[in-house]
Structure formats: structure tokens, C-alpha cells
Amino acid sequence: MSVGLDTLAPVLSALDDAAVGQWCRAAVAGLSEGRGRLDDLNVFPVPDGDTGTNLLATAQAALAALEESGEGAAEPAWAVLARGAVLGARGNSGTILAQLLRGLADQLADVPPADGPAFAAALQKAADTAYAAVADPEEGTFLTVARGGAEAAVAAVAAERTPLADVVRAAADGARTALEATPGQLAVLRDAGVVDAGGAGLCLVLDALVTTVTGVEPARPSLARGRVGGPRRGHDPDRDLPSQPPAGPGSEVQFLLTDSDEAAVARLHERLAALGDSLVVVGADTPTGREWNVHVHVSDVGAAIEAGIEAGRPYRISVTPLAPVRPPAPTPGARAVVAIVPGDGLAALFTGESARVVPGGPDDVGEDDVLAAVLGSGAAEVVVLPNDPALTAPASRAAERAREEGRDVVVVPTRCPVQGLAALAVADPTRRFGDDVVSMAEAAAATRWAELTVAEQEALTTAGRCRPGDVLGSAEGDVVLIGREPAAVAGELLDRMLSAGGELVTLVVGPDAALGDAVCAHLATAHPTVEVARYDDGPGGIPLQVGVE
């Protein structure tokens, strides 16, 4: 087989061995040119700024294997490419890229050169096996981008756009579309203002395939420019990465494993999954037998290596300390508000009021998440709004830890988002910090709050027995009304709250906008002198939240 820079036809109809080699060369060139930008994007799973470097090293290992095999080799180029990538894979993203290439090889080696439908089917299967190789796959990562490209390629074939050029263009375009969506799927990307670095690298690899097949390089915007919602920032150890959790497992351990079998590797996989995270195990057939590339982040390096020894013979062992997340030094006099907020709509609302948002509720947010946001703010003075009674304790523990890092942190124990909004409304960074905290706490405490929920099971409440599907009206956490129609319950709940007075009603409306319309109409009729502030896109499980001031 030939892997030289032979002159290819303007448009290829199938991927033969020569085209595979040409693609690999083009991918190495693209990753080499983009390495710095990819490293700069790298904030997940740890912000160590090496994704581009690792992807390039993996692709170079694949190309070296092809060049070593030489022209006229007995093995198909796909098999040689995959083996070189697996045995030379570096880092989390490099190992996943190797798995993707191995998945392609499993489908395309020892068969006729791949046309459009064959490549689309192989790419879909390769994306599926890549997901299976990762112990704890997350959306918004390399895997998501790979699946987006594969699904787009399959869709092109289904739409009868079957030429290879059409299929690879669809794959590259679909991957790029999936890449641009990653900040909305992974909070660490959204908060750092970047797309996933590994997925961006895969886009370069697929664009190299388009160039190989069509002879035309796709026109793409720079990976280093633009972001969803603000200026893009990538990896920089001296800058603010607010959403990163505190440093977890302390070292990246990677090794090749031989003299083993599938059962032993399965046990190794289980053992390493219990020891750490970012676990990827990829196997490849070699002339001397099957070997595996094992990658994991762990705090106990010795235990990880011992697990490898129990499974077979580990060699080419590398241990790299993971770069800890270094919070920025606090800026004297700088002030920030950190708010824990459920729901994208509310998150946007709090962000618009200059709060730093920790998305989620009691089941999603822990003290480490709050601490990361506090330290990541770079502010010396920080107010935390938990916005849920169950989150006050973890917020307080995070505040205590932040004080040990030199921050002045106070938790204002808001019990719901409307109280948090009331506190934010009076925040004034020009006031003395203590005075500002008192004003925010008083505003929150003066806001009586209520909400509508829907009963999921029969239960005895302070307002009587409820059945599944009943609408519950709660005030200050106690159920005071039970009914069947949300608008009716909401109206009566507001009448009760306003009977004690009130000048401003804040409404946070869930998915049912019609409910918000009905409540606003009721207030206009029954309480025409009351000012109403309405916000839509509240959390899905709560039809309506109310604040009265």
C-alpha cells in the first residue's frame, strides 16, 4: 500500500488504502496546525491544556505505523492505522480517537474500498463502540461530536445522497454542528466559554477527510473565535475558570497491556472504574497478540498499576500529575454574588442580574460546586444565595472553606428563587460589604413566597389529603390549598397572600405560559394596584413560583 502524497482524483468514490494514508497525513497536518488552539480550549475533564498535543501524538503514531508498514503490505491500511493509533494513543481524547479509528477498521478492513453508504455505516458503528469504551460517558464531549457526525452521515445516505463526497461532507458538517452545541450540554464548557477541545480535534480530522475525498478544504470559522453568550476563553492556568470543580484524582496513568485476555481486562476495567475516572480502555490486534491501551485518572497510582499487573503485563507506563485548578487570587474590593438556580430560564435571569450561577437543585449541587464558583469569581467579597432550604447547609460549608482561602463569604439563606431575585434587586457593590449583606438579607426575608406543585402520590398534607395529579398551593413551604385546576389554586393562593398586604408580586412561570397569563389576568382584576413582575421559563417541575413584597 502507498501512504505517500500521491496525486488523487479531484473527487474519490471510495476509500482505498492510498486514500486512507492520504487522510492520515492530512489529519496530522490539520492537528499540527490546530494544536495550540485545541490546547487552549481544553478545560474538560481537567484543564491541563494538552488535548491538541495528545490528539496530534495519536495521529502521528497512526501515520508512523502506516509508513513503517510500507507499500504493498499484506495488512489493510485500516488495520495498520488503527493499531498504530491504539498503541500510540496519548491522553483521554487521544485514546478515544484511537477507539474511533479502531471501530472504523473493524468495519472496513478486509472488505472492498468503502463507498459512501459503507463509510456512513462504519462511522455509526465506530461512534457506538467509542461510547462503550468509555466507563462513564458524558454528553458535550468528543463522543457527542462523533455521534453527531455519524448520524449526519447515515442521514445523508437515507436521503439518497450516497456518493462518498456527500457522505463525508455530511459527517464533517454534522460533527461541527454537534461541536457548537457542546457548551449547552456541559456546564464547564459553557462557563469557560469554549467548545469541547476533543470534539474540536475530531472536527479537524473529519475536515481532513473531506479535503482528501473532494480535493477542497472546508471553509470553517476559527476554533479560537466566538462563543455562545460572550467572549471565548480557553485553558490558561493564570486565568479564571469558574466552573471547574476542585482538583480530583491527582494523576493520569496510562499504559499498554499485553499477556491478558478479555475476561481479565473486564475485571481491570471494573477495578479502575472504582479507583478513578476518565477511564478508557481500547484494544487492538498486533502480530504477537491482542494489546490494550489503558487510560485513567486516579489518586492512588500504585493501586492502578497493581491492577494492571494483575490483569497482564503492563508496559510503557506513564504517570502525569494532573494540573490542579488554581483559583484566581481575590481582587481586593471586588464583590460577587453566587446563586444556585434550577432551570435554564432562571439561570439566564440571574446571570442577567450579574450573578454567577451554579445550575441545578439539591440533587445536582454540592458544596464543591459552590466552592468552585466562589473561588472562581476572583472576588474578595462574595454573597451566596442557595435559593432552596436544602442547599443552605452545603452553601454554608462551601463558604467556610472559602474563608480559609482568604475570601469574605456570607450565605443569605434564600429559600426560593424569588427571594434570591429580591436580594439581587437591592445589591449595591458601592456600599460597605456588611451593609450590602444586611440589605440583601432584609429584602429576601421581606419577600413572602409560595409555589404551585403537582402531587405525585397520595399523601396527608397540612391542608388535607391529596391525590396524584392534585395541584398543591404552598406558602412558605407549607401546603395551604389543594385543587384540580392550577389557575384557580394560584388565584386563591395569591388572594390569601395579598390579604396581608403587598405592593409587588413576582411570578416565575413554568412551562405552561397560559397559566402565567391567567394569573396575571386575575391580579389585574382582583388586585389592580399591585405591581406585577413576570418571568417565564421557570423550572419544569414547578408550574408557578410567587414572591410578594
The architecture in CATH of the region 17-214 reads Alpha Horseshoe (1.25)
The length of the chain, given as a count of residues: 549
Please enumerate in sequence order all residues whose Cβ is within 8 A of that of 542, keeping only pairs 6 or more positions apart, or say none.
451, 452, 453, 508, 510
Considering only residues 69 and 79, tell me which one the structure prediction assigns the higher pLDDT. Answer: 79
509-525 tens-digit pLDDT = 888 899 999 999 999 99
Domain made up of 251-321: CATH architecture: 2-Layer Sandwich (3.30)
Roughly what angle, to the nearest 10 degrees, separates helices 486-498 and 513-526? 40
pTM of structure: 0.55
- Letter string b/e over residues 188-202, b meaning 16 or more CB atoms within 10 A of that residue's CB: bbbbbbbbbbbbbbb
The pLDDT tens digits of the residues spanning 256-274 come to: 999 999 999 999 999 998 8
- Residue linked to cell 432551570: 343
Q: Just give the CATH number of 448-548.
A: 3.30.1180.10
Q: Encode pLDDT of 4-28 as tens digits.
A: 344 444 688 999 989 999 999 999 9
Compute the distance between CA of residue 65 and CA of residue 257 in angstroms, rounded to an integer: 19
| Beta-strand runs (E) in 235-288 | 251-258, 276-286
Domain ranges for the chain: 17-214, 251-321, 331-445, 448-548
**CA–CA separation, 137 and 505 (whole Å):** 43
Please, where are the H alpha helices in 331-455?
344-352, 367-376, 392-404, 417-426, 433-445
Asked if the model's pLDDT at residue 202 lies above 80, the reply is yes
pLDDT for 204: 93
Q: Which three cell numbers stand for residue 333?
A: 474590593
Read off the pLDDT of residues 328-387 as tens digits, 9 standing for 90 and up: 678 788 899 999 988 667 777 888 888 898 888 887 788 888 988 898 888 999 999 999
Q: Which long-range contacts (CB under 8 A, 24 or more apart) does 269-272 make?
A: 269/135, 271/307, 271/310, 272/135, 272/296, 272/298, 272/304, 272/307
Phi/psi region, residue 215 (left: phi>0; alpha: psi -120 to 50; beta: rest), is: left
Average predicted confidence (pLDDT) for the chain? 85
- 118-151 pLDDT per residue, tens: 999 999 999 998 888 777 777 888 899 999 999 9
Q: How many secondary structure helices (H) and strands (E) does the chain include?
A: 18, 16
- Judge if 17-214 and 251-321 fold alike in CATH terms: no
Give pLDDT tens digits for 38-60. Answer: 877 766 665 556 788 889 989 99
Higher pLDDT among residues 538 and 533, named by residue: 533
CATH number of 331-445: 3.40.50.10440
Contact between 1 and 72 under an 8 Å Cβ cutoff? The reply is: yes
DSSP states of 123-163: HHHHHHHHHHHBSS--SSSHHHHHHHHHHHHHHHHHTT--S
Q: What is the pLDDT of residue 300?
A: 81
Query: DSSP characters for 34-81?
Result: HHHHHHHH--SS---S-HHHHHHHHHHHHHHHHHHH-TT-SS-HHHHH
pLDDT at residue 232, rounded to an integer: 36
Choose from 211-225, 241-255, 367-381 the range with maximum mean pLDDT: 367-381
